[in-house]
Amino acid sequence: MGDTLNAKLAQMVMVGFRGAEPDECRAFLDSLAECPIAGVWLTDNKSPMGLTHGNIRSPEQVRRLTQALQNASPTPLFIAIDAEGGQVIRLEECYGFEAFPSARELGERDDPTFTRSSAERLARLLAECGINFNFAPVLDLNKNPANPIIAGKHRAFSADTQTVARHAAIFVEAHHRAGILCAGKHFPGHGSSSTDSHHGLVDVTQTWGEDELIPYQHLIANGLLDAVLTAHVCLRQIDPDLPATLSPRVVTGLLRERLGFEGVVFTDDLNMGAIQDHYPLERAVELCVQAGADVVLHANVKHYDPDIARRTVAILRQLVESGRLTEQRIDQSNQRIAALRSRIR
Quote the CA–CA distance of 193 and 233 in Å, as a whole number: 8
Quote the CA–CA distance of 119 and 282 in Å, as a whole number: 38
Amino acid 1: pLDDT:
40
Amino acid 301: pLDDT:
86
Weakly modelled stretches of the chain, pLDDT under 70: 1-2, 46-52, 195-200
Average pLDDT, the chain: 94
Q: Supply the range of the domain harboring residue 97.
A: 4-341
Strands 50-51 and 46-47, sheet pairing: antiparallel
Residue 206 maps to which CATH number?
A: 3.20.20.300
Contact 268, 230 (CB under 8 A): yes
Amino acid 278: pLDDT:
87
Amino acid 2: pLDDT:
44
Amino acid 217: pLDDT:
98
Please choose, from the candidates 340, 345, 320, 334, the residue with its C-alpha nearest in 3D space to the C-alpha of residue 12: 334
Quote the CA–CA distance of 24 and 338 in Å, as a whole number: 30
**Which residue type occupies 176?**
H
Contact 84, 138 (CB under 8 A): yes
- Hey, which residues are catalytic here? 198, 268
Sign of torsion over alpha carbons 293, 296, 297, 300: positive
Secondary structure string (H, E, C) spanning the chain: CCCHHHHHHHCCEEECCCCCCHHHHHHHHHHHHHCCCCEEEECCCEECCEECCCCCCCHHHHHHHHHHHHHHCCCCCEEEECEEECCEECCCHHHCCCCCCCHHHHHHHCCHHHHHHHHHHHHHHHHHCCCCEECCCECCCCCCCCCCCCHHHCCCCCCCHHHHHHHHHHHHHHHHHCCCEEEEEEECCCCCCCCCCCCCCEECCCCCCHHHHHHHHHHHHCCCCCEEEECCEECCCCCCCCCHHHCHHHHHHHHHHHCCCCCEEECCCCCCHHHHCCCCHHHHHHHHHHHCCCEEEECCCCCCCCCHHHHHHHHHHHHHHHCCCCHHHHHHHHHHHHHHHCCCC
CA distances from 105 to 28, 147, 167, 216, 291 (A): 38, 17, 11, 21, 35
- For the chain, the first-to-last Cα distance in angstroms comes to 27
Chain centre distance of CA 238: 23
Amino acid 195: pLDDT:
63
Count of structural domains within the chain: 1
The model carries a pTM of 0.95
